[in-house]
């Protein structure tokens, strides 16, 4: 397989995976492009490579910066902004886990905590309280475990997986 074909296949696949993970396809493709680029890319470079509009590129670059997995770079004498992805895979995975917890898990924990306070004593209401309490405990424990993994200096999950694969 030639490089250009492999690169295109990777960008398309990463975009599709991003959609399954709750990130839009273009955002995932921009991230993929920046991960595999040997140098920082300008917005124009990204637009040309992915055949996307300036607005689409701008909006998705801002989103990736908000996630903390890409950052801006400036080159002396250049007016353009350049963008580079986090190159350390473990650091990138930790940043994504932290952001997903903040955006998805913590709000779910808050809702589960609130709905447990429902008033009532009939069978249906008691069952509701019981199940939401169980869910709250499970999600809170999962979030605590995720925080412990994220706070590791070296990601033991990645090391374990690599050992199993060797």
Segment 56-102, tens digit of pLDDT: 999 999 999 999 999 999 999 989 999 999 998 888 888 888 888 89
Residue ranges making up the domain that contains 19: 3-85
Q: What is d(CA 63, CA 41) in angstroms, rounded to the nearest whole number? A: 16
- Angle, in degrees to the nearest 10, between helices 54-67 and 25-36: 70
Asked if pLDDT for residue 8 goes beyond 60, the answer is yes
- Give yes or no: residues 47 and 8 share one domain: yes
Any idea what the Cα angle at residue 61 is, between residues 56 and 62, rounded to 5°? 105
- Give yes or no: residues 107 and 151 share one domain: yes
- Give yes or no: residues 56 and 117 share one domain: no
- Give yes or no: residues 122 and 56 share one domain: no
DSSP lists the bridge partners of residue 103 as none
- Give yes or no: residues 80 and 142 share one domain: no
Q: Which pTM was predicted?
A: 0.76
Q: Name the 3-class secondary structure at 144.
A: helix
- Give yes or no: residues 57 and 81 share one domain: yes
Segment 25-67, tens digit of pLDDT: 999 999 999 999 989 999 999 999 999 999 999 999 999 999 9
The confidence score (pLDDT) of residue 158 equals 59
**The domain that contains 36 carries what CATH number?**
1.10.10.10
- Give yes or no: residues 23 and 95 share one domain: no
Q: What HEC string does 31-99 produce?
A: HHHHHHCCCCEEHHHHHHHHCCCHHHHHHHHHHHHHHCCEEEEECCCCCCEEEEECCCHHHHHHHHHHH
Q: What is d(CA 157, CA 2) in angstroms, rounded to the nearest whole number? A: 33
Segment 99-145, tens digit of pLDDT: 888 988 999 999 999 998 888 888 998 899 999 999 999 999 999 98
Provide the number of structural domains found in the chain: 2
């Amino acid at each position: 397989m030639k490089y250009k074909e492999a690169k295109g296949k990777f960008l398309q696949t990463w975009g599709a995976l991003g959609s399954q993970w709750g990130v839009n396809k273009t955002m995932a493709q921009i991230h993929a492009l920046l991960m595999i680029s040997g140098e920082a890319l300008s917005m124009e470079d990204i637009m040309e490579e992915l055949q996307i509009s300036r607005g689409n590129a701008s909006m998705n670059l801002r989103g990736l910066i908000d996630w903390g997995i890409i950052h801006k770079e400036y080159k002396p004498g250049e007016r353009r902004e350049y963008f580079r992805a986090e190159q350390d895979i473990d650091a990138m995975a930790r940043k994504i886990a932290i952001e997903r917890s903040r955006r998805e898990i913590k709000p779910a924990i808050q809702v589960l905590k609130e709905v447990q306070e429902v008033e009532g004593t009939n069978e249906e209401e008691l069952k509701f309280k019981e199940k939401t309490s169980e869910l709250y405990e499970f999600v809170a424990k999962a979030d605590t475990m995720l925080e412990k993994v994220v706070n590791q200096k070296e990601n033991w999950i990645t090391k374990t997986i690599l050992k199993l694969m060797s």
